[in-house]
Structure 1
């Protein structure tokens, strides 16, 4: 059985858990958090020298870090990877967008407000709000044209971007300004097998 090391309320750690739920695949969850120093524990850094979660461990001991790489691995041969070549590339483009244009602002602002592990400056809060709203606006434009990010059906791109978008209000973002995103969030939450952020086996 696959093991996923992760932090329950982290969006990045939620991505593979949500995909496993949507595809009905069993896995083992091991809670590891930066808040209590768990990601710095030598037993964990021996598995992932980058000292970050999530981390996937296969039964044979192979290890895979990075949430979107995990989605690509776990999503192979599932309906969440389009058969059409262009749609697969479009899915990948949104996954890159999530890491470079969305997560650094939407997720980081949420983390600054939620965890308070460091003092956020007014300038940092203002800049992440502006850039995060820009990213949400890009999504809104796409979702006004398409029910899902890569086409007519949900893909790994939707899972990747759902993770931090649905909790964006915790970072001070007003999703009421983005009705297309609101409809899209509801569509993701209506998928068979959907589980919320705090879900993992045994929880």
Structure 2
């Protein structure tokens, strides 16, 4: 059985659980405590050379690391990842965009607020908001004329961007500014098998 090493509050881990649930793939979940250093051990380094979650361990013991790589591996052969080379490239470009334009600013601002240290990090949060808003504005502009990120329906691109964009308000981003993003988030939430961040998958072994 597939094994997923993740953490409870991680948006990157949430992406993988959504996809596993939507593809109806059984998996065994191992939830780690990041604050206690469970990803910093030599044992975990053998699973992930970067010492971070998520990690997908295959049935033969090999591992796949980095959320985008895991998503692409799991979605291979499914309707969420187009066979057409050009359309596939468009999906992958959104995965790169998410990692480059949204991944650092939105999650880090969120972490500062969740951990209750936002007051001490006000200058850093101001910079994170400035960078994050630039990415969100690009996304919202695309969605003014497109219901989905690629083609005419839900794809891996939408799944990949959904978690952290939907959590941006937890980092005190003013999401009321982005009506097109909010409509898109509702469309993604309506997809079969879409899990909330703390929901258990129907295909999760506990």
The answer to whether the 8 A contact 2:112-2:121 is kept is: no
Deviations 1:148-183 (A, max 9, x none): 111211111111110101111000012111111111
2:137 aligns with 137
SS of residue matched to 2:103: helix
Q: 1:134 to 1:185 in 2, by over 3 A?
A: same
Residues 47 and 63 in structure 1, CA contact (< 8 A), matched pair in contact too: yes
* 2: CA distance, partners of 1:16 / 1:158: 13
SS of alignment partner, residue 28 of structure 2: strand
Q: TM-score, normalised by structure 2?
A: 0.92
In the superposition, relative to structure 1, how do residues 120 and 142 fare at CA in structure 2: closer, same or farther (>3 Å)? farther
Which residues in structure 2 correspond to 1:115-134 (within 5 Å)?
Answer: 115-116=115-116, 121-134=121-134
The 2-side partners of 1:50 and 1:154 are apart by: 31
SS in structure 1 at match of 2:35: coil
- What is residue 113 of structure 2 aligned with on the other side? 113
Give ranges in structure 2 of 5+ residues lacking alignment.
none
Deviation (angstroms), 1:88: 1.1
Q: Distance in 1 between matches of 2:104 and 2:19?
A: 22
Helix, strand or coil at the partner of 1:106: helix
Query: What is residue 67 of structure 1 aligned with on the other side?
Result: 67
Please list every run of at least 4 consecutive aligned residues from structure 1 whose deviation after the TM superposition is greater than 6 angstroms.
Answer: none
The 2-side partners of 1:153 and 1:115 are apart by 37
Counterpart CA distance in 1 for 2:173 and 2:117 is: 20
Query: Quick check: 1:24 aligned with 2:24?
Result: yes
How far off its partner does 1:89 sit? 0.8
Q: Distance in 2 between matches of 1:51 and 1:84?
A: 34
Of residues 189-198 and 78-87 in structure 1, the stretch that sits farther from structure 2 once superposed is: 78-87
Aligned equivalent of 2:102 = 102
- Partner SS state of residue 147, structure 2: coil
SS of residue in 1 equivalent to 2:39: helix
Q: Root-mean-square deviation (CA), in Å?
A: 1.7
How many pairs align? Answer: 203
Q: What is the Cα deviation at residue 116 of structure 1? A: 5.0
Structure 1: tracts of 5 or more residues without a match: none
| Contact 1:102-1:132 within 8 A present in 2 as well | yes
Q: Give 1:81 deviation, angstroms.
A: 0.6
Equivalent residue, structure 1, for 2:92: 92
TM-score by length of 1: 0.94
Task: Measure, in 1, the Cα distance between the counterparts of 2:84 and 2:205.
Answer: 37
Measure how far apart 1:101 and its partner are: 0.7
State the Cα distance separating 1:84 from its structure 2 match.
2.9
